[in-house]
């Protein structure tokens, strides 16, 4: 997957898809998809409902397996056999509906998913959350109860949690669908800051204005 530039070999894309196809009974949701995602770019997948965007996200997130084709990570073929496997490889997804536990604090949510036999370092998690949030320009209080926050604030906290877990490839699946215009604008600005940090961001939307405004990279049109 590497490209030759002069006499040097350019590094491969962070994530690439080659001939990826996914079928369901009576329909081909993704047909021979070829895509490449590079660090420091925001890529938009644009398409109407039913265009196959969520199917593609599901395969990148380890929720589904392609029927054909190969997914590459840093030039090497990988099998994203589960969401846990995808997370271990630095691929994280934020969905339009918050996945945080509303009765826990943000820090307690960030501590979930650790080794079951170890008690979480609550102070350490809270400190790391605050440091990560400050680094990307997000204002949050680790001790805040999640259910008291707006959807936009919860999404920002999920992005911070993903970075704490080592995410280098961040998928935002219809992340603005339920946001106010103000929160959507904040998310767009945050995507640009993440790209500046070297994160590859994939933003899935059906809103053309957002695709044009926030893209740093390619706009891919979804299709059946």
Q: Which of helix, strand or coil describes residue 167?
A: coil
Please state, in angstroms and rounded to a whole number, the distance separating the CA atoms of residues 107 and 161. 9
pLDDT exceeds cutoff 70 at 145: yes
CA nearest to 11, candidates 72, 77, 91, 74: 74
**pLDDT at residue 19 in the model:** 95
**Distance, CA of 102 to CA of 112 (rounded, Å):** 13
Residue with tokens 């998690």, as numbered in its chain:
125
Cα 164 to Cα 136: distance, rounded to the nearest angstrom? 12
Q: How confident is the model at residue 218, as a pLDDT? A: 55
The angle, 0 to 180 degrees and rounded to 10, between the axes of the packed helices 181-196 and 151-164 is 20
Chain-wide mean pLDDT for the chain? Answer: 86
With CA atoms as reference, report the closest residue to 130 among 122, 120, 142: 142
Q: Give the predicted TM-score (pTM) of the model.
A: 0.84
Q: How far apart are CA 195 and CA 200, in angstroms?
A: 6
User: Is residue 31 over pLDDT 80?
Assistant: yes
Grade residue 141 by pLDDT with cuts at 50, 70 and 90: very high
pLDDT at 224: 37
> Could you report the per-residue pLDDT of 93-138, keeping only the tens digit for each?
998 788 899 999 999 999 886 654 556 677 889 999 999 999 999 9
**184 or 133, greater pLDDT:** 133
- Angle between helix 151-164 and helix 122-135 axes, rounded to 10 deg: 110
- In this prediction, residue 53 carries a pLDDT of 86
């Amino acid at each position: 997957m590497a490209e030759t530039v002069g006499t040097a070999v350019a590094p491969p894309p962070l994530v690439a898809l080659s001939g990826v196809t996914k079928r369901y009974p009576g329909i081909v949701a993704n047909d021979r998809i070829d895509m490449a995602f590079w660090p420091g770019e925001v890529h938009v997948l644009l398409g109407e409902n039913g265009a196959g965007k969520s199917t593609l996200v599901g395969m990148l997130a380890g929720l589904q397996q392609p029927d054909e084709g190969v997914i590459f990570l840093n030039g090497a073929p990988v099998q994203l056999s589960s969401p846990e496997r995808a997370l271990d490889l630095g691929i994280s997804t934020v969905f339009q509906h918050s996945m945080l536990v509303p009765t826990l604090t943000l820090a307690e949510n960030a501590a979930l998913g650790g080794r079951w036999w170890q008690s979480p370092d609550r102070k350490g998690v809270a400190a790391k959350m605050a440091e990560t949030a400050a680094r990307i320009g997000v204002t949050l209080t680790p001790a805040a109860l999640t259910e008291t926050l707006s959807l936009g604030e919860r999404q920002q906290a999920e992005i911070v949690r993903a970075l704490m877990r080592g995410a280098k490839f961040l998928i935002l699946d219809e992340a603005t669908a339920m946001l106010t215009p103000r929160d959507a604008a904040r998310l767009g600005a945050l995507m640009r800051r993440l790209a500046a940090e070297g994160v590859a961001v994939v933003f899935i939307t059906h809103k053309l204005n957002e695709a044009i405004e926030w893209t740093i990279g390619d706009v891919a049109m979804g299709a059946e």
